[in-house]
Amino acid sequence: MSLKAGIVGLPNVGKSTLFNAITKKHILAANYPFATIEPNVGVVVVPDERLSHLKDLYNPKSLVATSFEFTDIAGLVKGASHGEGLGNKFLSHIREVDAIVNVVRCFDNGEITHVEGKIDPIRDIEIINTELILADLEVIDNRISRIGKKMDMAKDKKELLEINALKHSKENLENGTPLRLANIKEEELEVLKSYNLITTKPVIYVANVNEDDAVVGDNEYTKAVKEYAAVENSGVIVMSCQIESDLSDLEDDEKKRFLEELGITNSGLDKLIYQTYNLLGLRTFFTAGEKEVKAWTFRKGMKAPQCAGVIHSDFERGFIRAEVMSYDDLLEYGTELKVKEAGKMRLEGKEYEMQDGDICYFRFNV
């Protein structure tokens, strides 16, 4: 299951530094706008302590964690929707992601220039939101122009649904409301999926602070970002992108000691990965054996055949049943045999809704 989160923000707010930390790649992170010209894509592993225990139990030849992609996209500036800066090139890349990570600068530093002249995270957020709204409005207006007279004459149920979706979207966007916050019917949102509109995507804000404030946790800027995000029910992660980048160069033991010395319990990067994973409604199931222990990503609500299809399309096409035990039961009883003896190994059919932490053996026939 290929899923992507796009890292966005104004120039010089810490996007590329964060991307360095996420992927352990050292792309250009220069102190001037547009240091990132092409989108940089990196695969991030989702930390999962359950894999370590499964490794100890099965001693597999291969251990594979689940992952998804982060894309670092060049800095957006005011007027991007009309071609300023990198303009529509930026916007075309962001349409391809599933969620948006909006990095906001929440620290003062006279040596690092700010494209708008001074630090104001709410202004920065609203610049980006405005550009994304204008970009989506252009898509909606173009579609309305193509439909033409049908907007008033259509009688077909499917056409009317699209027309209503377009009208309601246009109204909200013209009022400055991102579509993720708009009061639009579920069936209309379904129609809009084919347009790949940017403002329908969920958002997490990364409040990028300096090293001192990363320990304290909040400053006047981060408090403002949290208040703003609370209104639209978006998540906020306060972190120092520079600390996270420094941590990415360390081995796990060194990283742990470094965090302890700073008085930080959990890496901001780990928090971001978990929150992005959950924001997209993602969960993890496992396959386990002597050859391989592997984590697989699925969306909450998917049924057993769909999850089997994540592994291979033949598994879904010829699905018979799934043998399922929970990770917690395996942890409690210690071995598969004891799980079976306790009656905790289950046979599940096509209507079974997969749960996070399920360990599965799929039976199929093609």
CA separation, residue 133 to residues 22, 84, 123, 279 (Å): 28, 15, 15, 21
- Full-model pTM: 0.83
Q: Is the pLDDT of residue 30 over 60?
A: no
The DSSP output letter for 253 is H
SS3 150: helix
Report CA torsion sign: 184, 185, 186, 187. Answer: negative
The DSSP output letter for 182 is S
Per-residue model confidence (pLDDT) at position 295? 96
Q: Is the pLDDT of residue 319 over 50?
A: yes
**Residues 6 or more apart from 12 whose CB is under 8 A from it?**
31, 32, 33, 75, 105, 112, 113, 114, 115
More confident residue, 76 or 281: 281
CA separation, residue 285 to residues 45, 64, 148, 174 (Å): 15, 12, 48, 42
Tens-place pLDDT, residues 32-82: 444 444 557 888 888 899 999 999 999 999 999 988 888 887 656 565 555
Q: Is the pLDDT of residue 212 over 90?
A: no
In this prediction, residue 133 has a pLDDT band, given cuts at 50, 70 and 90, of: very high
Q: Is the pLDDT of residue 325 over 80?
A: yes
- Number of residues that this document lists for the chain: 366
In this prediction, residue 152 has a pLDDT band, given cuts at 50, 70 and 90, of: low
d(CA 246, CA 239): 13
How many helices (H) and strands (E) would you count in the chain?
A: 16, 12
Percent of residues, the chain, with pLDDT higher than 70? 86
Mean pLDDT of the 207-216 span: 86
Per-residue model confidence (pLDDT) at position 357? 97
